[in-house]
Chains A and B, each alone.
Chain A
């Protein structure tokens, strides 16, 4: 097997007294889409910045593309594409110019940049907007431009920090589609997200982070299988019935999660569970059956709802 593109052992990042990343281990392999899933402040972005060779590590070891970020930062960065959490495009410049100057930062020859810009504009569905300045683009377009910019050097590894945060559903799906195509072409992706559906859509393998540590690792399917039964029954009850219902539902499902506004029953057979609910005389105002998701895994692992 080929050696991993990224290897971290006991990787740690401290800011003064605060430990943002607390000794994590992971490997990212060629051609996979690897995810860091977790709430804000879990240490995802700090980890990404260390991988991006822009943030010195505070402890442990980190190898990126077989190189040491502390010694070979420029050589590593030459082969990375970075899509930061906040768009940091040059607002005054046009779409085309943003791509061009970025190509120059990589010291690519003009001829090469011109060729790639045309391809990337096509890929990012921005060909029509090539001469518009960035300030006139929608959020989704800016995101796609930032991704196109990160591809100007044909990177071996693309780092995406919360790629769809703040986008509307259409723009999000359009972006996932683009990222999926990149994966098909063999680009290795590392994605951070606090969206469960995004992790499920994009990642072959992921780690769940909480408070600077990795609390679980696996494929989305594995994690759901391991940490959450297959189906979830969500009950919504009148506020007055809530507490009484909780008492009578005891022991009815593999796991019961009581949230302020509803009760979640984790079960392998939703239909049977619903039958049991009515048998015990609980009459919910509304009810919903769904497949269990990474959100459920997260809830299970950290005991908290995912906060934005």
Chain B
């Protein structure tokens, strides 16, 4: 073997993406523009008039929101890329069967997919930071330092999402996962407001969500604020979701595809 199998899987995914990137690139730039305009500028003006930065570490709402939204967008990208496309590979298009008929095995297929999602996360996060900087939420250089945090956050969702998708019969389970999992996380993990605003009994629940750690990590790196959890803890926590999720994804993909 000259090229590791997972790299060749990644190559295949990249070639497919080269054909379909036009659709995704619009949403990649448009989503942050819309969110930062509506929430950051529109809602932000109202917030800033009332609070003058109190409760937001002295930040404008736009500055508070932007890095959190970066992490949340990475989560959505990671989860999105590991749900419908994976289901298509398993069931709708059966392209994974075609890959597995070659010397490439399930572990390489899974890791190759996640490696590709990692690359996509870099694109999406950098694009987001460019928009963020254009809005004046943070400086470009400072914003770019948050990209690794965002990528790690995305992977922490992408990996277990593959494991979840591998066990599903159809699309229903994916819709439910987004409706009852991803969207609530998006809303309540400290992206739009500090989790200290949550009722006390709910706050510990936010602490165990990977997104909250991603948001805290992203925000503290981009803005130089002090995060609630120590950064090493957040990194370790997100990394363990990524590694554990990848392991589980390989196990479940094998169970699904090698029958």
**B259 interface contact, C-beta 8 A:** yes
Distance between Cα atoms of A80 and B104 in the complex (Å): 13
Q: Are B12 and A101 in contact (CB under 8 A)?
A: yes
**B179 interface contact, C-beta 8 A:** no
Distance between Cα atoms of A75 and B102 in the complex (Å): 9
Q: Are A84 and B94 in contact (CB under 8 A)?
A: yes
**A86 interface contact, C-beta 8 A:** yes
In the complex, chain B residues whose CB is within 8 Å of the CB of A106: 102-103
Contact A56/B258 with A73-B105, A105-B12 known, Cβ cut-off 8 Å:
yes
> Which of B12, B93, B99, B105 is A74 in contact with, Cβ under 8 Å?
B105
In the complex, chain B residues whose CB is within 8 Å of the CB of A91: 93
**A77 interface contact, C-beta 8 A:** yes
Within 8 A of B (CB), among A113-146: 133
Q: Are B12 and A54 in contact (CB under 8 A)?
A: no
Q: Are A54 and B258 in contact (CB under 8 A)?
A: yes
Within 8 A of B (CB), among A31-70: 52, 54-56
Distance between Cα atoms of A52 and B103 in the complex (Å): 11
Q: Chain A nearest CB: distance from B63 CB in Å?
A: 39
Interface size for B (C-beta < 8 A) is 26
Contact A77/B94 with A56-B258, A107-B1, A107-B2 known, Cβ cut-off 8 Å:
no
**A97 interface contact, C-beta 8 A:** yes
Q: Are A52 and B101 in contact (CB under 8 A)?
A: yes
Q: Are B105 and A82 in contact (CB under 8 A)?
A: no
Across the interface, name the chain B residue whose C-beta is closest to A75.
B103
**A88 interface contact, C-beta 8 A:** yes
In the complex, chain A residues whose CB is within 8 Å of the CB of B171: none
**B3 interface contact, C-beta 8 A:** yes
Q: Are A101 and B2 in contact (CB under 8 A)?
A: no
Q: Are A84 and B98 in contact (CB under 8 A)?
A: yes
> Which of B103, B104, B258 is A55 in contact with, Cβ under 8 Å?
B258
Distance between Cα atoms of A101 and B94 in the complex (Å): 16
Which of A80, A91, A100, A104 has its CB near the most chain B CB atoms (within 10 A)?
A104
> Which of A73, A97, A107, A153 is B8 in contact with, Cβ under 8 Å?
A107
Across the interface, name the chain A residue whose C-beta is closest to B14.
A101
Distance between Cα atoms of A15 and B258 in the complex (Å): 12
Distance between Cα atoms of A91 and B15 in the complex (Å): 12
Contact A90/B99 with A54-B258, A84-B94, A105-B104 known, Cβ cut-off 8 Å:
no
Q: Are B102 and A102 in contact (CB under 8 A)?
A: yes
Q: Are B8 and A104 in contact (CB under 8 A)?
A: yes
Q: Chain B nearest CB: distance from A90 CB in Å?
A: 6
Contact A90/B103 with A55-B259, A107-B8 known, Cβ cut-off 8 Å:
no
Distance between Cα atoms of A181 and B98 in the complex (Å): 24
In the complex, chain A residues whose CB is within 8 Å of the CB of B8: 104-105, 107
**B27 interface contact, C-beta 8 A:** no
Q: Chain B nearest CB: distance from A41 CB in Å?
A: 16
Q: Are B2 and A109 in contact (CB under 8 A)?
A: yes
Interface size for A (C-beta < 8 A) is 32
Within 8 A of A (CB), among B169-206: none
Q: Are B15 and A77 in contact (CB under 8 A)?
A: no
Distance between Cα atoms of A56 and B3 in the complex (Å): 27
In the complex, chain B residues whose CB is within 8 Å of the CB of A258: none
> Which of B95, B97, B102 is A77 in contact with, Cβ under 8 Å?
B102
Q: Chain A nearest CB: distance from B95 CB in Å?
A: 5
Q: Are B12 and A104 in contact (CB under 8 A)?
A: yes
Within 8 A of A (CB), among B129-174: none
> Which of B15, B103, B258 is A101 in contact with, Cβ under 8 Å?
B15
**B20 interface contact, C-beta 8 A:** yes
Q: Indicate with 1 or 0, residue by residue over B1-21, a CB within 8 angstroms of chain A CB atoms.
A: 111010011011001100110
Distance between Cα atoms of A109 and B2 in the complex (Å): 9
Distance between Cα atoms of A255 and B120 in the complex (Å): 67
Q: Are B15 and A93 in contact (CB under 8 A)?
A: yes
Across the interface, name the chain A residue whose C-beta is closest to B2.
A107
**B37 interface contact, C-beta 8 A:** no
> Which of B3, B11, B95, B102 is A90 in contact with, Cβ under 8 Å?
B95
In the complex, chain A residues whose CB is within 8 Å of the CB of B11: 101, 104
**B236 interface contact, C-beta 8 A:** no
Distance between Cα atoms of A149 and B8 in the complex (Å): 16
In the complex, chain B residues whose CB is within 8 Å of the CB of A197: none
**A89 interface contact, C-beta 8 A:** yes
> Which of A55, A92, A105 is B102 in contact with, Cβ under 8 Å?
A105
**A167 interface contact, C-beta 8 A:** no
In the complex, chain B residues whose CB is within 8 Å of the CB of A97: 15, 19
Distance between Cα atoms of A102 and B102 in the complex (Å): 8
Contact A89/B20 with A73-B105, A101-B15 known, Cβ cut-off 8 Å:
no
Contacts A88-B95, A107-B103 supplied; 10 other A-B pairs, CB < 8 Å = A15-B259, A54-B100, A55-B258, A75-B103, A78-B103, A86-B94, A90-B16, A90-B95, A105-B102, A107-B5
20 examples of A-B residue contacts, CB within 8 angstroms: A15-B259, A52-B101, A54-B100, A54-B101, A54-B258, A55-B258, A56-B258, A77-B103, A80-B101, A86-B94, A90-B95, A92-B20, A93-B19, A97-B19, A100-B15, A101-B15, A104-B8, A106-B103, A107-B5, A107-B8
